[in-house]
Structure 1
Amino acid sequence: MAASVKDVAARAGVSPKTVSNVVHNRPKVAPETRLRVQAAMAELGYQPNLTARSLRSGRTGLLTLAIPNIAAPYFAELAHLVIEAAAARDYTVLIEETEGLRAREVDVLNGVPPRLSDGTVISPLALNADDVRDFAPRGPIVLLGERIGDGPADHVAVDNEAVARDATAHVVGLGRRRVAAVGYQDDPLAGTSQLRYRGFCTALRDAGLEVPAPVAVDTYEWSDGAAAVDALLQRETVPDALVCFNDELAIGAMRRLSELGYSVPGDVAVIGIDDIPEARHMIPSLSTVAPDKGVLAATVVDRLLERIDGAAEGPRDVVIPHRLVVRESTRGRRPLAVTAAPAAGERA
């Protein structure tokens, strides 16, 4: 026979209400009590009865967060923050990894199994407007990232065009004139890449600088940053600054530059986007543009809960603030070599 809340309460020496508070991850439980209840749950093999809870309240107390790659530093940090934000509101988060594949993104929207959670936050790479429109009547949804068409879902994102424009303006302001982008993707569905490239181009044109032909990347991983450096260094005009469309690309690019004997920032200044934890621990530390990920996580959870409660009216777009973080990879540059004048009696 399955263990009940009363069984767990008796084993832990607490009230059934305290067990309920632990199950719902409410903050009002003392840490030592929470550990004792969790130990009792593990010993008894207790599993919350989500079906009964759903029948009583019409809700499961679960939210789904669907992201392309849980191993990517940006998404790993964001998932952690979403879990924290949901726990503060008495919700538990289920993580789904889609790998950016449309079939898996559609499965998440449809629910596997259906109606397992009360609502979904999804960071889509392959969904189209019809997918979102078809799903919307079946459950609350918030899009994390670029808007997909003019559908009915709420949309929360950083201003990707402004982010790249600010990153580019920063290196231009340092006197860099041969600025290249790392992160361009020649795919109309790659909304983040397209917007960041537009911001990059705008900043160069505003400064009266030439926009070099882009080097396309397949993904936003370390290896793609290194490969882009190899391609850029084959050009007649070698860049003196790289604007990378995420920090992973930037770190991969810096590693490859170092392997080839280039100094960062002496020969090439490098800036990324996202401010992942690794950025501040690199040598040199990586300059980047940081979206306010705490605000981002709290906002997507709040917007989704408003949808679940029926308190939201119409789709809304929310833009999250960002800031420039200047570190060693764009600070200063190696001074130009100066040839001393020959001393008297010496030949030049």
Structure 2
Amino acid sequence: MFRFQEKRFCYSVQPAYNRSKMTRSRVSMKDVAAAAGVSLTTVSDALNDRGRLPEATRRRVRDVAEQLGFQPHRTARSLAKGRSGILMLSVSLPESTPGSAVDIEFFVQLMSAASGAALHRGWALVLAPATGSERSVPVDFDGAIVVDPRPHDALLRLADAEGKPVVTVGRDLENPDRLHVDNDHSAAVREALDLMAKAGAERPALLTSEADSSYVQDCIDGYNVWCTTRAMTPQVVTAAGGLTQGAGYEAARDFLTGPKRPDAVFTTLDSLALGVHLAAQSLGLDMPHDLQVATLSDSEAARQARPPVTAVDLNPVATGKEAVQLLIKAIEDAADTESFLVPTRMHVRGSTGTASPEAVSD
């Protein structure tokens, strides 16, 4: 949990009329009051948009504060507005997934970017438990980000019950109109399938995790549409055991030894693709000639596999930053608050046998 240290507004008192001296130290509210010829209370009311001040006085105080370079302490500003200065973030993982979000590179990059974006704007980002009840969040917060929300998510229930703004990464299937940051996963799947078909794939399969989050559902929808337009019979397999390499391995061993073995597989997460990769090698299948593999969500492990795995880069850094910016806008009641779609990029590598010159350097 982040711990705040309260500080007074006063930094170093210098004569308000001597600006050359004040530039060598931080300006206090007392300096602003002296320069504007008003009381400290008037300065506080003017800067925090409180009190019954004449508009001319309010504007003059703000102009003087800006000229002097006055910057109130961020914690004090939050308290003045009745806020905690805390944003809560949680990753809603399937119950079948062992470990935590820090085991998955996409979530690590997203959380790191979100934390940096929050601090840059003067907010603290706190990671909430991925599972549990509303009581698992014992601190006050001003808004929440929930990544890949699943039904009955505890942080969503708590935020809604307290009337706190929420932004989700991926759509909330129970409330599709909720503010969110997302990717066009359906289009990304179709692009990957086109790539593998161009390289000769005739029986591509889709390997997914549990279909209780929007990105998995979007992948299934995109895959089914692609198969329908080509009069192909879809083969959708759900991996048991959560978002793990082991789950991908076990599922792949089954369908790669079955009577209708696919010649290409797209997975909804890099860990599942790495499991397919291992299963193919254990069965003596050559990639990409016997089996092509591509995945949603790029990672260092996908890049280091041999052959390296073709992957859709979901840009988790941009996603984390956009989620924070959107949530702060919602908290501040900004007029231009609306959901945002982050563009994706395909990194073509050896697992599909169609690596481009750009992608080879990956």
Range with greater deviation from structure 2 (75-84 or 163-172) = 163-172
Match of 1:81 among 100, 113, 121: 113
Is 1:280 paired with 2:317? no
Match of 1:161 among 168, 186, 195: 186
8 Å Cα contact 1:247/1:273 also seen in 2: yes
Alignment check: 8 A CA contact 2:90 2:147 kept: yes
| Pair 1:183 & 2:205 matched | no
Q: How far is the alpha carbon of 1:295 from its aligned partner? A: 2.3
C-alpha distance in 2, partners of 1:87/1:288?
Answer: 31
Structure 1 contact 133–151 (Cα < 8 Å) conserved: no
Amino acid in structure 2 at the alignment position of 1:209: M
Q: Which SS does the other structure have where 1:203 is aligned?
A: helix
RMSD of equivalent CA atoms:
3.3
Matched AA of 1:153: R
Q: CA deviation at 1:16?
A: 8.1
The question of whether the paired residues in 2 share the 8 Å contact of 1:132 and 1:151 is answered with no
Q: Cα deviations across residues 107-132 of structure 1 (Å, max 9, x unaligned)?
A: 56xx423x2x2211112443349985
> Where do residues 143-154 of structure 1 align in structure 2 (5 Å cutoff)?
143-150=168-175, 153-154=178-179
Distance 1:295 1:324 in 2: 16
Secondary structure of residue in 2 paired with 1:243 = strand
Residue 203 of structure 1: aligned partner: 226
Q: Deviations over 1:31-82 (max 9, x none)?
A: xxxxxxxxxxxxxxxxxx9987753342333221111323222111111111
Q: Tell me how far 1:270 sits from its aligned partner.
A: 0.4
Given that 1:129 and 1:149 are in contact with CA atoms closer than 8 Å, whether structure 2 keeps it comes out as no
Cα deviations across residues 169-215 of structure 1 (Å, max 9, x unaligned)?
A: 22112110121111153x5x343322211111222222332213534
* Partner secondary structure for residue 128 of structure 2: strand
User: 2:300 corresponds to which letter in structure 1?
Assistant: P
| Residue aligning to 1:193 | 216
Structure 2 CA distance for aligned equivalents of residues 239 and 171 of structure 1:
12
Report if the CA contact (8 A) 1:129-1:151 is conserved: no
| TM-superposed deviation, 1:276 | 1.9
Measure, in 2, the Cα distance between the counterparts of 1:93 and 1:126. Answer: 21
> Number of aligned pairs?
285
The 5 Å alignment of 1:1-348 reads 54-67=78-91, 68=93, 69-98=101-130, 101=131, 103-104=132-133, 106-107=134-135, 111-113=137-139, 115=140, 117-128=141-152, 132=156, 135-136=159-160, 138-150=163-175, 153-183=178-208, 185=210, 187=211, 189-212=212-235, 214-312=237-335, 316-332=338-354
Runs of 5+ in structure 2 lacking a partner?
13-23, 28-72, 94-100, 356-362
> Structure 1 residues 330 and 97, CA, compared in 2 at 3 Å: closer, same or farther?
farther
The two structures have a TM-score, normalised by structure 2, of 0.69
Identity of matched residues, %? 23
**How many Å separate the matches in 1 of 2:274 and 2:153?**
34
Unaligned segments of structure 1, at least 5 residues: 18-48, 334-348
CA drift at 1:238: 1.6
Contact 2:149 2:168 in 1 (8 A): no
TM-score (norm 1): 0.71
One-letter identity of the residue aligned with 1:321: P
Aligned-pair distance for 1:248?
0.9
Amino acid at match of 1:331: G
SS at match of 1:177: coil
